[in-house]
Amino acid sequence: MSQIKTTISTATSVNTAHDKARRADSPLESELPLQQNVALLHAARERLVLTQACPVPCPTKDDELVVEIRAIGLNPVDWKSIDYNFAIPQLPYIAGRDFAGVVVKAPAASSRLRVGDLVLSPSTDYRDIRKSAFQEYAISTHHNVARIPRNVPTTQAASIGVAYVAAALALGISLGLRLQSLADRDEIDLWEAVRQVPVSSIPADIMEECLSGIENAERPQPGDWIAIYGGSSTSALFISEIARLAGLKVILLADGVKHGGRLSERQGSILVDSHDPARAIKIVQSITKGKLRFAVDTVGKETAGHLVHMLQADAPEGKRAHLVGLTGVPKDKIDGVVFHSVPIKLFHEVPSIGLALMVWLERALESGALALPEVEYAEGGLSGINAALDRMRRGEISGRRLVVSI
C-alpha cells in the first residue's frame, strides 16, 4: 500500500510514450507494463478517483497469475462498503469484487491455465488489493479463476463470479447439497470435501459453519423444497439454478409486479409475490404442505424472519430446518431452525474448495447448464464506475447486473 501512496504523490497525467506503445501491443507479448490506471478510493463516502501511473501488481506466489481486465461486474457491496464504511481495510483502497479478462502471466506452478486464456475471477479476498477489480491488471490464483468458454461473452462472464460463489457455498457447505454431475463428470460434494481438509487450514471464524452447521442425515434430497427470498437477485438466480439441477423444488419470493414476467419463466421454480409477507407465508406453507426445511435469504434480516415462519421447525426424526442469510439472519434463535452465514472466505483460503467450485462452473458454462444473469452495460471504463455505482444507489438496477468494459 505504501507503494501506491508513493505512486499517487508522484503521478502525472500522462503516461510515457514507451508505456503507451506497450499497451497498444498484444498483452501476450513479453513484459507487462509497469504502470496502470486505477479507480482509487481515498476515504469512505467519497468518489473514486481515476489515478494514473499506479504500479501493476505482481505475483508473489507460484499459484498466482496476472489478468488483464476486460470487464468489471458491479455488486451491491461495491457501493454499500463505500457509503457505510465497511470492508475497507486500508486507505487508499482499490475496490471491486468481479472481473473477467485475459491471462497475461500464467502461474509459475503447474496449472490448467495458460497465457491467452479468457477467465473470470471472483475477488472474495478483499484485503488484498492486488486482486481487486477496479484496475487494469489484477492478480488471481489458480484455484480462484474459471476459464470462459466460447459460448459466453467475456462481458457477461464478469457478472457471474461472487454471486455464484456465494450461492454454491450456501448450498454446498451450509446446506450440504451436492453439486450435480455435469458433462459426464462426477458430482461435487463440498460438504464431504471440506471434512477432508486439514482443520488447521480452515479459518477459525468459519470452522463451525463448515464442520458443524448441518448433519449428514439432514442434507437436502431430490424432491425437497427450498424457498429463496429476494428471488430476483443474481445470487438467487444461481441458488435456484444449482438447486434445480440437484432435483430440489424451488420457490422464489419476489415482487411479482416488478419481476413476475421474467421470474415466472424460470425453469423449475414457483414464483410467490412477496409484496404482502403474511400472505406469502401462508402461500408457501400451502405449497409445501408445511414441510419446508430449507431456505435462503438474499435481502436482509427482516425478510429472513419471514422465511423462519415458513419453515417446518418440528420435522420428524429430529431433522432441523435450515436458513442461510446472505446478508444477515434474525437476532432471536428459533427452536428447530438452524441459522447459517455463508463461509465465503473458504473460497480463497482453501485451494481444494475454490478449485472444485471453479471447475464445476467451467463445466456448467460450457454445457449451458446454468441460466446466466441479464446484463446491462455501463460506459466510460474506469472513469464511468462512479456513475454506474450511482445508478445502483438509486435502485435503477434490479434483477440484472451492471457491467463496465475497460
Do 180 and 46 share a domain, yes or no? no
| pLDDT beyond 70 at 26 | no
Can you give the CATH number for the domain in which 224 is found? 3.40.50.720
**318 within some domain:** yes
Quick one: pLDDT at residue 11? 35
Beta strands in 155-248 (DSSP E): 225-229
Mean of the pLDDT values across residues 138-155?
97
Quick one: pLDDT at residue 338? 97
Do 339 and 212 share a domain, yes or no? yes
| pLDDT beyond 60 at 155 | yes
Do 195 and 243 share a domain, yes or no? yes
Q: Beta strand 137-141 with 118-122: parallel, antiparallel or unpaired?
A: unpaired
Do 225 and 120 share a domain, yes or no? no
Query: Closest Cα to residue 209, out of 246, 176, 167?
Result: 176
Confidence of residue 308 (pLDDT cuts 50, 70, 90): very high
Q: d(Cα 246, Cα 249) in Å, to the nearest integer?
A: 9
Bridge partners (DSSP) listed for residue 66:
105, 139
Q: H/E element holding 406?
A: none
Mean of the pLDDT values across residues 124-150?
97
- Going by the DSSP 8-state scheme, the letter that residue 360 receives in this structure is H
Do 305 and 392 share a domain, yes or no? no
Give 29-57 pLDDT, tens digit per residue.
457 899 999 999 999 999 999 999 999 99
Can you give the CATH number for the domain in which 134 is found? 3.90.180.10
Average pLDDT, rounded, for the chain: 91
CA torsion 66-69-70-73 (nearest 10°) is 130
Give 335-384 pLDDT, tens digit per residue.
999 999 999 999 999 999 999 999 999 999 999 999 999 999 999 999 99
Bridge partners (DSSP) listed for residue 272:
253
| pLDDT beyond 50 at 215 | yes
Q: d(Cα 355, Cα 369) in Å, to the nearest integer?
A: 19
Do 254 and 323 share a domain, yes or no? yes
To the nearest whole percent, how much of the chain has pLDDT over 70? 91
Do 219 and 274 share a domain, yes or no? yes
Quick one: pLDDT at residue 8? 42
- With b for 16 or more beta-carbon neighbours within 10 A and e for fewer, the 63-74 pattern comes to bbbbbbbbbbbb
Do 239 and 330 share a domain, yes or no? yes
Do 293 and 394 share a domain, yes or no? no
Do 243 and 323 share a domain, yes or no? yes
Query: Closest Cα to residue 146, out of 179, 191, 112?
Result: 112
**29 within some domain:** no
Domain coverage including residue 297? 170-346
Query: Closest Cα to residue 387, out of 400, 398, 377?
Result: 377
Number of domains in the chain: 2
**326 within some domain:** yes
Please give the single-letter amino acid code of residue 276.
D
| pLDDT beyond 70 at 277 | yes
Quick one: pLDDT at residue 402? 97
Query: Closest Cα to residue 145, out of 165, 120, 164, 168?
Result: 120
| pLDDT beyond 60 at 3 | no
Do 174 and 95 share a domain, yes or no? no
**7 within some domain:** no
Residue at a domain's end among 307, 326, 346: 346
**DSSP helix, strand, coil percent of the chain (3-state; round to 5):** 35, 20, 40
Quick one: pLDDT at residue 98? 98
Residue 198, all three cell numbers: 486439514
Residue 365, all three cell numbers: 458454462
Quick one: pLDDT at residue 12? 32
Quick one: pLDDT at residue 4? 54
Do 266 and 325 share a domain, yes or no? yes
- Residue 19 contacts residue 25 (beta carbons within 8 Å): no
Beta carbons within 10 angstroms of residue 264's beta carbon: 12
- pTM for the complete prediction? 0.91
